[in-house]
Structures are given as structure tokens and as C-alpha cells.
């Protein structure tokens, strides 16, 4: 009896380790779930970054308004602050748009390019 269990243990060790293959449907479902998770993570990261940028923009605006208050009556300084504010707003909007574009490109479904068609298909031979 001991010999039988040793023999079966030896035979078990000699068999190559094989993994049971999953069905295509299970692979597809797992890939779909993985893709949905990755997309959700990317969306959350985008939302976090947009919120962070918005808060930074508000802080900069508040700082600029505070700095402008003592010199509000000087038209030259006022013009410089207005120009700086417009430039900051343009940078802010461009940065937000860049984040949105990168997100769209990251989560957009991949489209395979069409296969090139032969210019002159080979003639069909009749038999």
C-alpha cells in the first residue's frame, strides 16, 4: 500500500503542470471587466485632476484680486493685471481641454485600420 502511494506521488510529479484553459466567453467577460475598471480609474483620475486644477485656478484668482486691491486706481497696473488674468485663463482652459482630450484618447475604443486591398486581384482560373 505504501508502494502504491509512492508510485502515484511519483507519477503525479512527472505530469507536466497544465492550466485548464478558460472559455472564450470567460476571457471576453474578464477583459470587458478589466477594461471597465481601467476606464473607471482613468475617469476618476481625470475628475481628480480637473478638480485640482479648478481649485488652483480659484486660489490664483483670489491671490491676484488681493494683489490688485491696493493698486486698483492705477490704470496701467489694472491693464497689466487684466492681461495677466486673460493669459492665465487661457492657460487654464488649454490645460483642462488637454486633460479632456487625453482622457478621450485613452478610453476611446481602438479601431484597427482597414487592410489594404490588392490593386489587381489575381485572376480566377476555371477548371
What pLDDT is attached to residue 28? 80
Cα atoms in the Cβ-side hemisphere of radius 13 Å centred on 84: 13
Average model confidence (pLDDT) across the chain: 77
pTM for this model (two decimals):
0.53
* Low pLDDT (below 50) residues in the chain: 1, 20
The full length of the chain comes to: 127
Cα separation, 87 vs 81, in Å, equals 10
Q: Which of 22, 24, 20, 4 is nearest to 12 (CA)?
A: 4
Q: Is 103 helix (H, G, I), strand (E, B) or coil?
A: helix
The count of other CB atoms within 10 Å of the CB of residue 85 is 15
Where along the chain do its domains lie?
48-106
Digit-coded pLDDT (tens) for 88-119: 999 999 999 998 888 888 777 666 677 777 67
**Whether 45 contacts 110, CB under 8 Å:** no
What pLDDT is attached to residue 104? 84
Instruction: State the cell numbers at 67.
Output: 494683489
Amino acid at each position: 500500500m505504501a508502494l502504491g502511494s509512492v508510485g502515484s506521488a511519483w507519477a503525479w510529479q512527472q505530469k507536466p503542470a497544465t492550466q485548464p484553459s478558460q472559455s472564450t466567453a470567460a476571457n471576453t467577460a474578464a477583459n470587458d471587466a478589466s477594461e471597465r475598471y481601467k476606464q473607471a480609474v482613468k475617469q476618476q483620475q481625470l475628475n481628480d485632476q480637473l478638480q485640482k486644477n479648478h481649485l488652483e485656478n480659484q486660489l490664483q484668482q483670489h491671490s491676484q484680486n488681493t494683489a490688485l486691491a491696493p493698486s486698483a486706481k492705477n490704470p496701467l497696473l489694472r491693464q497689466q493685471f487684466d492681461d495677466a488674468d486673460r493669459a492665465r485663463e487661457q492657460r487654464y482652459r488649454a490645460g483642462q481641454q488637454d486633460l479632456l482630450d487625453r482622457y478621450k484618447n485613452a478610453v476611446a475604443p481602438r479601431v484597427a485600420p482597414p487592410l489594404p486591398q490588392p490593386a489587381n486581384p489575381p485572376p480566377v482560373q476555371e477548371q
